[in-house]
Amino acid sequence: MVDTSEKASGEGLFSKRYAAATATFAVVMFLEGFAALAVLPTLPLAARELDGIALYPLVAGSFVAASLIGGVIGGSWADRSGPYRPLAAGIGMAVVTLLISGTSTTVWQLAAGRFLEGLTAGMVTVAVNTAIAHTFPDRLRPRALALMSTCWIVPSLIGPPLAGLVAAWGSWRTVFLGLAAINVVPAVIVVVMLVRRARAAAPPEGTEPEKGKGPRPPLLIAVAVSLGAALGQFGVSAWDVPHLLSTAAGVTLLVVFAPRLLPPGTGRAAPGLPVTALLRGLASGTYFTLEAFVPLLLDTERKVAPVQTGIAFTAAAIAWAAGSWLQGRWLTHWPRHRTVTVGAVIMAAGLLVAIAGTFPVTPPITSAASLAVAAVGMGMLTPSVTLLALNHSPADRHGYANSALQTTQNLGQITVMGLAAALFNAAHASPADPLVAFGAAFGLLLVPAVLAAVLAVRARAAGPGAPGPATG
């Protein structure tokens, strides 16, 4: 519901001035949400059928590794020629990636399909956030970001449970191929709309668009970091010499090249954009590792049907949207860094629920509920971090700021998931109950969640609507 001031000014999200942009971005996020959420409950089943359970961290992590490249491409492209072209390219490629995954004959092809899906998702996420920064004034951005999260509610309500039913009655392949068939026509329509907006926003012929200030990370560095991430995810899947060498190579690439993708000072949590980017990495690493391991726990140890796992993802998506709505409506007068702190604390509470779910005496719903609790925290935290990043960057560097967030998000997922997977595999190889391995992995996730809660104060904004230091 639009407040009185917005009615008076005629500048709400759905006013004549912003309606077309709002609708376009909402459809983009709807399509992206449907494709992203529906396939998640089927990934453990697909990996098991393709004899690739040991490589499940690679399947889950390849999406993240590719998002690094997609985020860099999307941010640089958006700063150079506007956000609509990378948006159109990402939506168009999404259908192709579903076809590749759905026709997988080996776990390696499945990982390749998820890699390409991560590439498109990285482009789309950065481009949407940059487009929101370019389109809406400061006071409407929190609600625009909340609306983007809300656009995931309908996909979350029907996507995962329906995918679980399809996988139970037919095959996990049907989920991927069916999504590709359903998305073809909407994707074509959205791409046409975005191309038209890109042409309308293009500078007059003979003029040169303003160049963003400062260096942008070369694509080859992003590829090196992505390769390091993939090698690391593969390496932690076993403890023999080839896997250890793969891990060493991956860590080396990450240590050498990853800092060149980040705002200077990110590693030491310097105030401004650096610590804001670090917060995104810590939070995302925590939540998405939890999101990867909970369905594996439900499938392998609790023997939960795929449709029930899908319902858990539905509850988590709704909870995420609720947290996002809360920060966009009730908490708009709070300093943004405090919202980040509260969100991180709620995520830590969700991890405690996940740990409780590894005890044999607790029902399987306990593990499923942990996703929903943690998702409330992520819904509050994610848009708040995005707004802080925009506050700490000048307008012509919003693409770079969003790219930095996407990069640290993916690096956080890679690092945290890699550590959790290594601990999980070590514990899983021991004579102890397999549930102990899951408990150890969930316990490890408490560290980045608590660290995010502590560091949030360093991301304090310079003032209401005032741009902070443009670091990077």
What pLDDT is attached to residue 237?
67
What pLDDT is attached to residue 270?
93
Query: Which of 295-299, 368-372, 404-408, 462-466 is predicted with the least confidence, judged by mean pLDDT?
Result: 462-466
Query: Which of 20-29, 76-85, 147-156, 449-458 is predicted with the least confidence, judged by mean pLDDT?
Result: 147-156
What pLDDT is attached to residue 451?
96
Terminal Cα-to-Cα distance of the chain (whole angstroms): 38
pLDDT in tens, 431-444: 777 788 899 999 99
**Structural domains of the chain ordered from first start:** 18-202+209-459 (1.20.1250.20)
- Yes or no: say if 367 and 302 are a contact pair by the CB < 8 Å rule: yes
Please count the other Cβ atoms lying within 10 Å of the Cβ belonging to residue 124.
28
pLDDT in tens, 117-142: 888 888 888 888 888 888 888 778 87
Q: Mean pLDDT over all residues of the chain?
A: 81
Q: How far apart are CA 429 and CA 450, in angstroms?
A: 28
CA 13 from centroid of its chain's CA atoms: 24
Angle, helices 172-201 vs 19-39, to 10°: value is 160
The pTM score is 0.71
Side-chain half-sphere of 21: how many Cα atoms within 13 Å?
A: 25
Could you tell me the CA-to-CA distances from 340 to 89, 114, 386, 450 in Å, in that order? 32, 30, 11, 11
What pLDDT is attached to residue 4?
44
More confident residue, 40 or 304: 304
What pLDDT is attached to residue 7?
47
Query: Which of 66-70, 199-203, 455-459 is predicted with the least confidence, judged by mean pLDDT?
Result: 199-203
Highest mean pLDDT among 167-176, 186-195, 354-363, 398-407: 354-363
pLDDT in tens, 212-257: 444 455 678 888 888 887 787 777 666 778 888 888 898 899 889 8
